[in-house]
Amino acid sequence: MTPRPKQRRRRIRAFVVAAAATGIAAAGVAALADSPAVAPSPPPPRADVDAQALPDPVAPAFTPPKPRSLRSDGVATWAPVRRTVPARLRPEVAAPVVATLMTKTPEETDNIVLVQGREADQDGRLWVKVRIPALPNNVTAWVERSALGGYTVVRTRLEIDVEAMTLTLYRAGRAIFEAPVGVGTAAWPTPKGDFYVRNKLTRFASPFYGPVAFGTSARSRVLTDWPGGGFVGIHGTNAPELLPGRVSHGCVRLRNDDIVRLAELMPVGTPVTIT
Amino acid sequence: MNGCGEREERIEPELTLGELDRDGALTEAIAETHGESRAEFLRKLALGSGALVGVLAAPPPAEAQVSEVAILNYGLGFEYLQSTFYTETERVGTVARMDERRATWARTLGAHERAHVAILRQVLGERAIKKPSFNFGGATETPNSFTRTAVAMEDLTVALLTGQTPRVRTPALLAAFFTLLTVEARHAAWARRIAGFQPVGAPLDQPKTLAQVDRAVASTGFVSTLLPRTTAAGRSPRFTG
């Protein structure tokens, strides 16, 4: 509240009186100090502070680096499926079911999906558009966000050229690994389209697959009764002399040195494009 | 009214994660993203589906015996939480759907929190804790749930730093903590302003103990103990070959 003029004048007067009293007291002390009969006393506290006499600020032990903007180009996101959930054609509870997503893969690793987008329905329920491991290949569908776990980001992307029989891994848009591959025969073709790496298997007792095998979301259109559902893998081989060539049941085969190197560079969740 | 059509200067109850049980604002924001009622969401949390866990995936150190390394590491855990939250919000495209004023705020805070992580990791070196796994469960995926959660998170950060900064004994480290505290306080005020709340909730900030902060974070289920298992050893492939 702003003081009224009369109150204000009274406060100013009180301040001036107090200041004058302080000055008189200080002068009195000084006069006493000049007297030889009185012992000297310490100087009175000064009303004005000498800023120069104050210490410098303590230097911080650390200073954060300059903040940087986020670079999101060339980034893909995946999430684990945390409960068995219907994947629907549209982001609606009543929409037709495209497939049912399980929490585990045939290899008993956690099932994952590649995140493509999101939308809230009329009730405010959040839906996520995901690429799913189902036939027909290249299919996307909508699942409730609550059925998925936390997101993980990858910066890699794998391209497989069936005609050229080559595989190229990119990170942040730059090619970092390339290798010749074996692909499916005419009877058991390697499916084309957009997929993703679902899991990584190591130390298994099957020389046919080499030392490392990646599972993908791609499925053979022909070998649908294959154990596990006919999923296409990317793996090593015990017949490197056949590579590059059209030699597989649809899987992508690499020489063992190459698959080991690829395993060092490529995380699970990496998008895969087969052309 | 501002450019978003929201009323500014609304005085809201203190929006902190620590007061979740009292006003339930964050729970409601999270539950909304799941299309569930608050009661339904809390019931699921109680059943364990939220994977409750502390920010460091371990009990916080005893209040009286906490060391400067422990304080730095706890701060790093919290900065991991914040930086991942803002980064994910930007990556999933939520920031791009905001108006310019809100998007600038979200991007700026994200860049700051990432810088905080970088410096704390550098200071701690090999003693730095690893980044936990997070599941924001949709809180990053709509502008409203993101904004409300950001307000709660920034307020809690201020309460955390207000409580822990006086425990730091090394003058240079204490000075550095003050630089963090003042910036986080401005983050909180900015977030409140963006959300349409009064920038300063109370005349004095109330410190929170590590245990209080840990309970608040755990109640959100944002820190996940269920790490995805995507690699298996010794299991034969069943691929077509």
| A219, two tokens | 């499925």
Task: Tell me, yes or no, if A251 is annotated catalytic.
Answer: yes
Check if B124 contacts A (Cβ < 8 Å).
no
Distance in angstroms (rounded) separating the CA atoms of residues B105 and B83: 14
pLDDT over threshold 50, residue B22:
no
pLDDT over threshold 90, residue B104:
yes
**Closest Cβ opposite residue B34 in set A59, A145, A232:** A145
Distance in angstroms (rounded) separating the CA atoms of residues A80 and A149: 5
pLDDT over threshold 90, residue B85:
yes
Q: Are A98 and A89 in contact (CB under 8 A)?
A: yes
**Which residues on B lie below 8 Å from A199 (Cβ)?**
230-232
Nearest chain A CA: its distance from B110 CA (Å): 8
**Closest Cβ opposite residue B118 in set A64, A121, A249:** A64
pLDDT of amino acid A45: 62
* pLDDT tens, per residue, chain A with 275 residues: 444 555 555 555 554 444 444 444 444 444 444 444 556 676 666 666 777 888 889 999 888 888 888 887 789 999 999 999 999 999 999 999 999 999 999 999 999 999 999 999 999 899 999 999 998 998 999 999 999 999 999 999 999 999 999 999 999 999 999 999 999 999 999 999 999 999 999 999 889 999 999 999 999 988 877 777 789 999 999 999 999 999 999 999 999 999 999 999 999 999 999 99
Distance in angstroms (rounded) separating the CA atoms of residues A194 and A164: 18
Q: A66, A69, A70: best mutation site toward chain B, by most B Cβ within 10 Å?
A: A70
With a CB cutoff of 8 Å and minimum separation 6, the contacts of B165 are B174, B177, B178, B181
pLDDT over threshold 60, residue B34:
no
Among residues B188, B21, B56, the alpha carbon closest in space to that of B113 is found at B188
pLDDT over threshold 70, residue B47:
no
Q: Which of A235, A248, A262, A266 is catalytic?
A: A235
- Cis peptide, bond prior to residue B228, ω within 30 of zero: no
Burial of B23 (0-12, 13-18, 19+ CB in 10 A): middle
In the A/B pair of chains, how many CB contacts fall below 8 A?
194
With a CB cutoff of 8 Å and minimum separation 6, the contacts of B49 are none
Distance in angstroms (rounded) separating the CA atoms of residues B188 and B112: 13
Task: Tell me, yes or no, if A235 is annotated catalytic.
Answer: yes
pLDDT of amino acid A162: 97
Q: Do A209 and B239 touch (CB under 8 A)?
A: yes
Q: Are B75 and B213 in contact (CB under 8 A)?
A: no
Nearest chain B CA: its distance from A74 CA (Å): 11
Q: A146, A198, A223, A264: best mutation site toward chain B, by most B Cβ within 10 Å?
A: A146
* Mean pLDDT computed over every residue of chain B: 78
Distance in angstroms (rounded) separating the CA atoms of residues B221 and B49: 9
**Which residues on A lie below 8 Å from B176 (Cβ)?**
60-63
Q: Which of A154, A167, A251, A274 is catalytic?
A: A251
A91 or B215, higher pLDDT? A91
Q: Check residue A191 and report its DSSP letter.
A: P
Nearest residue on chain A to B178, judged by CA atoms?
A60
pLDDT of amino acid A11: 56
pLDDT of amino acid A6: 56
Nearest chain B CA: its distance from A10 CA (Å): 30
Check if B116 contacts A (Cβ < 8 Å).
yes
3-class state of residue B117 by DSSP: helix
| A153, two tokens | 């980001």
HEC assignment per residue over A98-125: EEEECCECCCCCECEEEEEEEEECCCCC
Distance in angstroms (rounded) separating the CA atoms of residues B133 and A82: 15
Q: Do B90 and A65 touch (CB under 8 A)?
A: no
| A56, two tokens | 């410098």
**Which residues on A lie below 8 Å from B136 (Cβ)?**
150-151
Distance in angstroms (rounded) separating the CA atoms of residues B8 and B194: 8
Q: Are B57 and B223 in contact (CB under 8 A)?
A: yes
The answer to whether the pTM exceeds 0.95 is no
Check if B118 contacts A (Cβ < 8 Å).
yes
Check if B241 contacts A (Cβ < 8 Å).
yes
User: 81-110 in B: which are within 8 Å (CB) of A?
Assistant: 87-88, 90-93, 107-108, 110
pLDDT of amino acid B4: 37
Q: Do B92 and A115 touch (CB under 8 A)?
A: yes
pLDDT digits (tens, 9 = 90+) for B135-164: 999 999 999 999 999 999 999 999 999 999
Among residues A112, A110, A109, A104, the alpha carbon closest in space to that of A128 is found at A112
Give the residue-averaged pLDDT of B35-56: 40
pLDDT of amino acid A33: 43
**Which residues on B lie below 8 Å from A108 (Cβ)?**
232, 235
Among residues B239, B177, B216, B226, the alpha carbon closest in space to that of B55 is found at B216
B211 or A217, higher pLDDT? A217
Q: Do B239 and A58 touch (CB under 8 A)?
A: no
Q: Do A67 and B135 touch (CB under 8 A)?
A: no
Distance in angstroms (rounded) separating the CA atoms of residues A251 and A263: 16
Q: Do A226 and B238 touch (CB under 8 A)?
A: yes
Q: Check residue B162 and report its DSSP letter.
A: H
